[in-house]
Structure 1
Amino acid sequence: MEIDYIFGKNPQNISYVLGFGERYPKHVYHRGASIPKNPKESCKGAMVAGPDGHDGFHDVCTNSNYTEPTLTGNAGLVAALVALLGEKHMFDKNRIFSAVPPLFPEAPPPPVPWTP
Protein backbone atom coordinates (compact mmCIF):
# COMPACT_ATOMS: atom_id res chain seq x y z
CA MET A 1 0.00 0.00 0.00
CA GLU A 2 1.31 3.48 -0.86
CA ILE A 3 0.68 4.83 2.65
CA ASP A 4 2.94 2.12 4.12
CA TYR A 5 5.64 3.07 1.62
CA ILE A 6 5.39 6.76 2.58
CA PHE A 7 5.60 5.92 6.28
CA GLY A 8 8.76 3.81 5.96
CA LYS A 9 7.97 0.39 4.51
CA ASN A 10 10.29 0.93 1.53
CA PRO A 11 13.80 -0.08 0.40
CA GLN A 12 15.35 2.90 2.23
CA ASN A 13 13.42 2.17 5.47
CA ILE A 14 12.76 5.89 5.78
CA SER A 15 9.54 7.73 6.44
CA TYR A 16 8.98 10.55 3.97
CA VAL A 17 6.80 12.36 6.54
CA LEU A 18 8.83 14.72 8.69
CA GLY A 19 8.91 13.67 12.33
CA PHE A 20 7.19 10.33 11.76
CA GLY A 21 8.95 7.08 12.62
CA GLU A 22 12.49 6.35 13.67
CA ARG A 23 14.08 7.56 10.44
CA TYR A 24 12.88 10.55 8.43
CA PRO A 25 14.48 13.41 6.42
CA LYS A 26 16.35 15.96 8.50
CA HIS A 27 17.55 18.37 5.79
CA VAL A 28 14.41 19.74 4.22
CA TYR A 29 14.46 22.13 1.29
CA HIS A 30 12.05 25.02 1.64
CA ARG A 31 11.91 28.00 -0.71
CA GLY A 32 10.50 30.45 1.82
CA ALA A 33 12.36 29.51 4.97
CA SER A 34 15.15 27.45 6.42
CA ILE A 35 14.90 24.70 9.00
CA PRO A 36 15.25 26.13 12.51
CA LYS A 37 18.64 25.63 14.12
CA ASN A 38 17.05 25.59 17.57
CA PRO A 39 16.37 21.91 18.40
CA LYS A 40 13.30 22.92 20.44
CA GLU A 41 11.68 24.09 17.22
CA SER A 42 10.91 21.48 14.64
CA CYS A 43 9.57 20.95 11.18
CA LYS A 44 7.18 18.01 11.47
CA GLY A 45 4.13 16.65 9.71
CA ALA A 46 4.75 17.52 6.09
CA MET A 47 5.67 14.93 3.47
CA VAL A 48 8.76 15.60 1.38
CA ALA A 49 9.01 14.93 -2.37
CA GLY A 50 10.48 11.47 -1.77
CA PRO A 51 12.67 9.06 -3.70
CA ASP A 52 13.60 8.92 -7.35
CA GLY A 53 12.38 6.24 -9.75
CA HIS A 54 14.95 3.74 -8.40
CA ASP A 55 14.08 4.26 -4.70
CA GLY A 56 17.14 6.44 -4.22
CA PHE A 57 16.84 9.26 -1.70
CA HIS A 58 19.35 11.95 -0.74
CA ASP A 59 18.60 13.85 2.46
CA VAL A 60 20.14 17.17 1.44
CA CYS A 61 18.41 20.53 1.68
CA THR A 62 20.00 21.76 -1.55
CA ASN A 63 18.08 19.29 -3.72
CA SER A 64 14.36 20.04 -3.89
CA ASN A 65 13.75 16.93 -6.00
CA TYR A 66 14.03 14.84 -2.83
CA THR A 67 13.39 17.01 0.22
CA GLU A 68 10.90 19.74 -0.70
CA PRO A 69 7.44 19.48 0.86
CA THR A 70 4.82 20.75 -1.59
CA LEU A 71 1.15 21.60 -1.34
CA THR A 72 0.24 19.20 -4.13
CA GLY A 73 2.13 16.28 -2.62
CA ASN A 74 0.74 16.85 0.84
CA ALA A 75 -2.83 17.35 -0.40
CA GLY A 76 -2.78 13.82 -1.80
CA LEU A 77 -1.43 12.46 1.47
CA VAL A 78 -4.12 14.24 3.48
CA ALA A 79 -6.84 12.95 1.16
CA ALA A 80 -5.53 9.39 1.50
CA LEU A 81 -5.36 9.62 5.28
CA VAL A 82 -8.88 11.04 5.50
CA ALA A 83 -10.15 8.24 3.27
CA LEU A 84 -8.62 5.71 5.67
CA LEU A 85 -10.73 7.07 8.51
CA GLY A 86 -13.70 5.19 7.14
CA GLU A 87 -17.41 5.77 7.27
CA LYS A 88 -17.60 6.35 11.04
CA HIS A 89 -16.48 9.96 10.57
CA MET A 90 -18.86 12.56 9.23
CA PHE A 91 -17.41 13.83 5.98
CA ASP A 92 -18.14 13.43 2.32
CA LYS A 93 -15.11 11.87 0.64
CA ASN A 94 -16.31 13.11 -2.74
CA ARG A 95 -16.42 16.73 -1.56
CA ILE A 96 -13.35 16.90 0.71
CA PHE A 97 -11.79 19.66 -1.39
CA SER A 98 -15.04 21.29 -2.53
CA ALA A 99 -14.22 24.57 -0.74
CA VAL A 100 -10.95 24.95 -2.66
CA PRO A 101 -11.51 27.43 -5.48
CA PRO A 102 -10.76 26.22 -9.02
CA LEU A 103 -7.49 27.23 -10.66
CA PHE A 104 -9.31 28.60 -13.69
CA PRO A 105 -12.70 30.27 -14.03
CA GLU A 106 -15.55 28.12 -15.24
CA ALA A 107 -16.25 28.17 -18.96
CA PRO A 108 -19.19 30.35 -19.95
CA PRO A 109 -22.40 28.56 -20.94
CA PRO A 110 -22.90 27.89 -24.64
CA PRO A 111 -24.84 30.48 -26.58
CA VAL A 112 -28.55 29.99 -27.04
CA PRO A 113 -29.47 28.27 -30.31
CA TRP A 114 -30.15 30.62 -33.18
CA THR A 115 -33.67 30.62 -34.54
CA PRO A 116 -34.58 32.36 -37.80
Structure 2
Amino acid sequence: MSYVVGFGNLYPKHVHHRGASIPNNRVKYNCKGEWKWRDSPKPNPNIVVGAMVAGPDKNDEFRDVRTNYNYTEPTLAGNAGLVASLVALSGVRTGIDINSMFSAVPPMFPTSPPPPAPWTP
Protein backbone atom coordinates (compact mmCIF):
# COMPACT_ATOMS: atom_id res chain seq x y z
CA MET A 1 0.00 0.00 0.00
CA SER A 2 1.36 3.38 -1.00
CA TYR A 3 0.28 6.37 1.06
CA VAL A 4 1.40 8.71 -1.73
CA VAL A 5 -1.59 9.30 -4.00
CA GLY A 6 -1.03 8.12 -7.57
CA PHE A 7 2.12 6.14 -6.74
CA GLY A 8 2.05 2.42 -7.47
CA ASN A 9 -0.97 0.23 -8.11
CA LEU A 10 -2.54 0.45 -4.66
CA TYR A 11 -2.94 3.96 -3.23
CA PRO A 12 -5.76 5.90 -1.48
CA LYS A 13 -8.69 6.56 -3.82
CA HIS A 14 -10.90 8.45 -1.31
CA VAL A 15 -8.64 11.33 -0.27
CA HIS A 16 -10.24 13.83 2.12
CA HIS A 17 -9.66 16.83 -0.18
CA ARG A 18 -12.31 19.11 -1.63
CA GLY A 19 -10.60 19.55 -4.99
CA ALA A 20 -10.18 15.82 -5.41
CA SER A 21 -13.67 14.75 -4.37
CA ILE A 22 -15.85 17.25 -6.30
CA PRO A 23 -16.15 16.59 -10.05
CA ASN A 24 -15.09 19.26 -12.50
CA ASN A 25 -18.50 19.67 -14.14
CA ARG A 26 -18.60 23.50 -14.12
CA VAL A 27 -21.36 23.51 -11.46
CA LYS A 28 -20.86 25.73 -8.40
CA TYR A 29 -21.85 23.94 -5.23
CA ASN A 30 -22.55 25.57 -1.89
CA CYS A 31 -21.09 24.07 1.28
CA LYS A 32 -24.05 21.77 1.92
CA GLY A 33 -24.13 20.72 -1.72
CA GLU A 34 -20.53 19.53 -1.46
CA TRP A 35 -21.38 17.07 1.30
CA LYS A 36 -22.84 14.61 -1.19
CA TRP A 37 -19.39 14.33 -2.75
CA ARG A 38 -17.62 14.05 0.60
CA ASP A 39 -19.96 11.27 1.73
CA SER A 40 -19.93 9.40 -1.59
CA PRO A 41 -18.49 5.87 -1.53
CA LYS A 42 -17.17 6.36 -5.09
CA PRO A 43 -13.45 7.04 -5.62
CA ASN A 44 -12.41 10.64 -6.09
CA PRO A 45 -13.01 11.90 -9.65
CA ASN A 46 -9.75 13.89 -9.45
CA ILE A 47 -6.45 12.42 -8.31
CA VAL A 48 -4.18 14.58 -6.16
CA VAL A 49 -1.01 13.02 -7.52
CA GLY A 50 1.91 13.18 -5.10
CA ALA A 51 -0.08 14.06 -1.98
CA MET A 52 0.78 11.89 1.00
CA VAL A 53 -2.09 10.96 3.29
CA ALA A 54 -1.87 10.34 7.03
CA GLY A 55 -1.52 6.58 6.63
CA PRO A 56 -2.15 3.65 8.95
CA ASP A 57 -3.08 3.71 12.60
CA LYS A 58 -1.09 2.22 15.48
CA ASN A 59 -2.33 -1.27 14.50
CA ASP A 60 -1.06 -0.82 10.92
CA GLU A 61 -4.62 -0.62 9.60
CA PHE A 62 -5.70 1.83 6.91
CA ARG A 63 -9.29 2.66 5.99
CA ASP A 64 -9.59 4.38 2.62
CA VAL A 65 -12.69 6.36 3.63
CA ARG A 66 -13.01 10.02 2.66
CA THR A 67 -15.05 10.96 5.74
CA ASN A 68 -12.34 9.68 8.12
CA TYR A 69 -9.70 12.37 7.70
CA ASN A 70 -7.46 10.69 10.29
CA TYR A 71 -6.45 8.27 7.54
CA THR A 72 -6.95 10.15 4.28
CA GLU A 73 -6.13 13.82 4.95
CA PRO A 74 -3.16 15.16 2.92
CA THR A 75 -1.80 17.95 5.16
CA LEU A 76 0.91 20.49 4.42
CA ALA A 77 2.79 19.48 7.56
CA GLY A 78 2.64 15.82 6.61
CA ASN A 79 3.88 16.44 3.08
CA ALA A 80 6.69 18.86 3.97
CA GLY A 81 8.98 16.10 5.19
CA LEU A 82 8.29 14.01 2.10
CA VAL A 83 9.09 16.90 -0.22
CA ALA A 84 12.26 17.80 1.68
CA SER A 85 13.43 14.18 1.59
CA LEU A 86 12.80 13.87 -2.13
CA VAL A 87 14.67 17.10 -2.85
CA ALA A 88 17.62 15.87 -0.79
CA LEU A 89 17.60 12.52 -2.58
CA SER A 90 17.45 14.15 -5.99
CA GLY A 91 21.03 15.37 -5.62
CA VAL A 92 20.17 18.63 -7.36
CA ARG A 93 22.43 21.46 -6.22
CA THR A 94 20.27 24.42 -5.30
CA GLY A 95 23.05 26.78 -4.25
CA ILE A 96 21.50 27.03 -0.80
CA ASP A 97 23.76 26.46 2.16
CA ILE A 98 21.64 24.30 4.46
CA ASN A 99 23.69 25.40 7.46
CA SER A 100 22.88 29.08 7.02
CA MET A 101 19.63 29.11 5.04
CA PHE A 102 17.66 30.59 7.93
CA SER A 103 20.22 33.22 8.96
CA ALA A 104 18.27 35.98 7.16
CA VAL A 105 15.05 35.18 9.05
CA PRO A 106 14.57 37.70 11.84
CA PRO A 107 14.25 36.29 15.36
CA MET A 108 10.76 35.71 16.72
CA PHE A 109 11.57 37.58 19.93
CA PRO A 110 13.71 40.67 20.47
CA THR A 111 17.22 39.97 21.53
CA SER A 112 18.10 40.44 25.17
CA PRO A 113 19.83 43.68 26.10
CA PRO A 114 23.54 43.48 26.79
CA PRO A 115 24.58 43.01 30.41
CA PRO A 116 25.35 46.17 32.33
CA ALA A 117 28.91 47.40 32.33
CA PRO A 118 30.89 46.52 35.45
CA TRP A 119 30.74 49.14 38.18
CA THR A 120 33.90 51.01 38.89
CA PRO A 121 34.22 53.44 41.83
TM value normalised by structure 1: 0.67
Give the Cα separation in 1 of the matches to 2:45 and 2:66: 20
Structure 2: runs of 5 or more not aligned: 25-43
Residue 18 (structure 1) aligned with residue 5 (structure 2): yes
Counterpart residue identity of residue 45, structure 1: G
Give the Cα separation in 2 of the matches to 1:36 and 1:112: 58
Q: Quote how far apart the aligned CAs of 1:42 are.
A: 2.8
Correspondence list, 1:6-45, <5 A: 14-30=1-17, 32-33=18-19, 35-37=21-23, 41-45=46-50
Residue in structure 2 matched with residue 114 of structure 1 by the alignment: 116
Give the Cα separation in 2 of the matches to 1:61 and 1:71: 17
Q: Quote how far apart the aligned CAs of 1:53 are.
A: 1.4
Q: Quote how far apart the aligned CAs of 1:40 are.
A: 7.0
Counterpart residue identity of residue 68, structure 1: E
Counterpart residue identity of residue 64, structure 1: Y
| Number of equivalenced pairs | 95
Cα RMSD, aligned residues only: 2.7
1:94 to 94, 98, 104: 98
Greater relative contact order (Cα 8 A, min sep 6): structure 1 or 2?
2
Q: Quote how far apart the aligned CAs of 1:43 are.
A: 2.2
Residue in structure 2 matched with residue 83 of structure 1 by the alignment: 88
Counterpart residue identity of residue 51, structure 1: P
Give the Cα separation in 1 of the matches to 2:70 and 2:88: 27
Decide which structure has the larger Cα Rg and report it.
2
Tell me the SS of whatever aligns to 2:65. Answer: coil
